[in-house]
Amino acid sequence: MNSMLSFYPQFWTCAFDFEGRTSRIDYWKIVLVNLILGWVLSQIAPSAVYIVFAVASICPGLAMNIRRIRDTGRPWPWIFIALIPFIGFFWLLWIELQPSADG
């Protein structure tokens, strides 16, 4: 069980690492854990604890998204594709679903 969740502390310790890479499987495991943890916290303590978690997750989440984009072989500014109304979110999702690039 310990090795199964060893990827999650890296999400927090690499909060300011915008240069590395994040594999597709690690990215989606972290997204899933954060969704579940966020939902549980919103049910248990709907105000303060959830808000602290959500705000604290912004920078590590941004760094992880940039590392994932870099892992697909694209430059980091592709993250701004999410700002395009209606299709931007889905385009970024498609990018993040792509396999890792070699090198």
What is the per-residue DSSP string for 29-82? Answer: HHHHHHHHHHHHHHHHSTTHHHHHHHHHTHHHHHHHHHHHHHHTT--GGGGGGG
Say how many CA atoms lie within 13 Å of 14 toward its Cβ: 22
- Copy the structure tokens of residue 37: 């943890």
pLDDT at 87: 96
pTM of the model: 0.85
What pLDDT is recorded for position 1? Answer: 45
Give me the tens of pLDDT residue by residue for the chain, a chain 103 residues long.
455 667 888 888 888 989 888 889 999 999 999 999 999 988 887 778 888 999 999 999 999 999 999 999 999 999 999 999 999 999 999 999 999 988 6
Backbone angles phi, psi at 86, to 5 degrees: 70, -55
- Residue 90 is predicted with a pLDDT of 96
CA nearest to 30, candidates 54, 5, 52 = 5
